[in-house]
Amino acid sequence: MLKVEDRNGNIVSLLDSGVVELKLINENRVRVLGKIENKILKIYRPANHLHYKSNSIGFNAALIENDFSFDFIELMFRGNKYFFSKEVLITNCFHLQFFTNANELQKFLRMDIIALYQM
């Protein structure tokens, strides 16, 4: 198991099963971020995960910035599947953080870039 703590004290864990979890410092529950299989991070995002002002989707910064052993991202969003490299995310993302310092640090990728990789 791999665990990484971000600068706000939130913990991202990669379980032996490949499941990636997030434990926010200010919550008692654990969130599932996705699952890594064959170097592919598989993520499902419901429609309410779109940041409308920037027309982008957020990805956990600690997951992107640390060695969680994936090279590609398979994203399911609004009934569509997108497949792109981790490098596309790193090269094109921007940082947003909301509310207090205890919230999740995220890197955002615009939907116009994600749309280029629709399957």
Q: What is the pLDDT of residues 73-82, one digit of tens each?
A: 999 999 999 9
Alpha carbon distance 59, 102 (integer Å): 16
Q: Which of 29, 33, 4 is nearest to 21 (CA)?
A: 33
Is residue 21 assigned to a domain?
no
Supply the range of the domain harboring residue 102: 34-117
To the nearest 10°, the Cα dihedral for 61, 62, 65, 71? -90
Is residue 7 assigned to a domain?
no
Q: What's the pLDDT band for 109 if we cut at 50, 70, 90?
A: very high
Alpha carbon distance 86, 108 (integer Å): 13
**Residues sharing a CB contact under 8 Å with residue 83, sequence separation 6 or more, in sequence order:** 72, 73, 74, 75, 117, 119
Is residue 18 assigned to a domain?
no
User: Global pTM?
Assistant: 0.88
Domain count, the chain: 1
